[in-house]
Amino acid sequence: MALQLMALPRQLVTLVQFLLVPVCFALAWGLVGMTVWNLITAVRDGVNRATVMHKIPCADCRYFTGDHRLKCPIHPKAALSESAIDCVDYEQTGFI
C-alpha cells in the first residue's frame, strides 16, 4: 500500500516531465527564434531607412543654408526631408 502511494507521484512526475520537456523546448527555441528574427528585421529596417536618408541631396546643394531656422529658401518645408529626394532645384555646391 505504501509502495503504491510512493509510486503514484513518481509516475505523475514522469508524466509531467514527458509533457513539459517538449513544450519548454519549443517555447525556449521559439523565444530564441523570435529574438533573432527581431534583430534581423531591425537591422534590415535600419539599413533600408539609412539608404533612403542618404538619397536626400540637400547637404550637397548650393541652396542649403545650414541654418535650422531656414534650411532652404527655395523649398523650406521639403529641405532635409524625404520630399527633397529628386528635387528639381538641386544644384551641387562648388559646381559653378
Cα dihedral 34, 38, 40, 44, rounded to 10, equals 150
Q: CB nearer to ligand SF4: give 26 or 52.
A: 52
Q: How far is the CB of 33 from ligand SF4 (least distance, A)?
A: 43
Answer yes or no: are the C-beta atoms of 38 and 45 closer than 8 Å: no
- From the list 54, 75, 82, 96, which residue makes contact with ligand SF4 (rule: CB under 6 A)? 75
Q: Per-residue string for binding with ligand SF4, 52-71, x by CB under 6 A?
A: -----xx--x-xx-------
- Bridge partners for 70 per DSSP: 67
Note whether 74 binds ligand SF4 by CB under 6 A. Answer: yes
Answer yes or no: are the C-beta atoms of 41 and 55 closer than 8 Å: no
Residues 4-33 that bind ligand SF4 (CB under 6 A): none
